Amino acid sequence: MAKLFDTHAHYTDECLRGNTQLLDSLFASDISHILTVATNLTDSDDCIALAEQYVGIYASAGIHPHEAGKVENLDDAMASLAQKLAHEKTVALGEIGLDYYYDFCDKETQMRVFRAQMELAAEKNIPVIIHDREAHGDTMDIIREYKNRVIGILHSCSASAEQVKEYVKMGWYISFSGVITFKNASKTLESVLATPKDRILVETDCPYLAPVPMRGKTNHSGYMHYTAAKAAELLQMEYDAFCEQEVQNAKKLFNIN
Ligand SMILES: [Zn+2]
């Protein structure tokens, strides 16, 4: 059975936390690797602890834009984050970025925390995971500032095909979630077509964004084959060849042997 790398999951979320039965069943079927993605410093520790328990699970560490307003001392937060990045199972810094859809934190604070983490990623030479919701322009501007210094993943891509092409030119990877299986996804489908085969990734963003026909349910990596099948179809690839390529892309970016 062709295996996949879920490049963006939240197995420390209360909906999925502690479900060892689910994780065991995923690795026994079509999942080879999972990146469990952090949203704040405490969650980063939880992600690392989970990654220590499973060979196939890797962790990220970082501060989500929703959490940016809770950072009291930015220097202290970056020092703490640097320690978490040094762990052998931490393969990315994230998720970081900008979210102008929800009003959890003002734009200036979001940008300051985002830039500080991009600076740390450049210093530590580690890929980043970008959350960009309704903030395509400002996100791209900050990423351009770090051209040739930081690469990473545009997660659950909702950017236009034009923007995807610019990310790809800068060496970035593009990750698609279950959104590409939704009925109203025509714009995102063009972004899939604009992504080269050696830069495409898939993800669940579980427990959110379950693909059709599971839409509305609690998502997990066991549903990711619906998303992968859709991406393979769009790129006119055989399903197994797509899976093999996807795992290879993720391992290359995260520096996993
Ligand atoms: Zn996420």
Task: Return the HEC string of 98-137.
Answer: EECCCCCCCHHHHHHHHHHHHHHHHHHCCCEEEEEECCHH
37 CA to centre of ligand 1 in angstroms: 6
C-alpha triplet 32, 217, 211: angle, nearest 5°: 60
Q: Which helix (H) or strand (E) holds 185?
A: none
Confidence at 225, pLDDT banded by 50, 70, 90: very high
106 CA to centre of ligand 1 in angstroms: 20
94 CA to centre of ligand 1 in angstroms: 9
Over range 57-61, report the average pLDDT.
Answer: 98
Task: List the domains of the chain with CATH numbers.
Answer: 4-254 (3.20.20.140)
89 CA to centre of ligand 1 in angstroms: 18
User: In the numeric block, which tokens belong to residue 234?
Assistant: 């769009």
249 CA to centre of ligand 1 in angstroms: 19
Length of the chain: 257
Over range 165-174, report the average pLDDT.
Answer: 98
| 204 contacts 174 by C-beta, under 8 angstroms | no
Query: Where do runs of H (alpha helix) occur along 36-101?
Result: 41-53, 74-85
58 CA to centre of ligand 1 in angstroms: 14
9 CA to centre of ligand 1 in angstroms: 6
209 CA to centre of ligand 1 in angstroms: 10
218 CA to centre of ligand 1 in angstroms: 14
92 CA to centre of ligand 1 in angstroms: 13
pLDDT of res. 194:
98
Closest CA to 8 of 252, 241, 212, 224: 224
| 242 contacts 256 by C-beta, under 8 angstroms | no
Closest CA to 94 of 114, 75, 69, 71: 114
Number of Cβ within 10 Å of residue 27's Cβ equals: 17
pLDDT of res. 247:
98
145 CA to centre of ligand 1 in angstroms: 23
Using one digit for the tens of pLDDT, what is the confidence trace for 99-138? 999 878 999 999 999 999 999 999 999 999 999 999 999 9
Q: Which residues contact 170 (CB under 8 A, 6 or more apart)?
A: 143, 144, 147, 148, 151
8 CA to centre of ligand 1 in angstroms: 6
pLDDT of res. 103:
76
Place of tokens 């580690």: 126
pLDDT at 26 over 80: yes
Closest CA to 38 of 131, 156, 146, 157: 131
Mean pLDDT of the chain: 97
6 CA to centre of ligand 1 in angstroms: 12
Over range 65-93, report the average pLDDT.
Answer: 98
169 CA to centre of ligand 1 in angstroms: 24
pLDDT at 234 over 80: yes
126 CA to centre of ligand 1 in angstroms: 18
97 CA to centre of ligand 1 in angstroms: 11
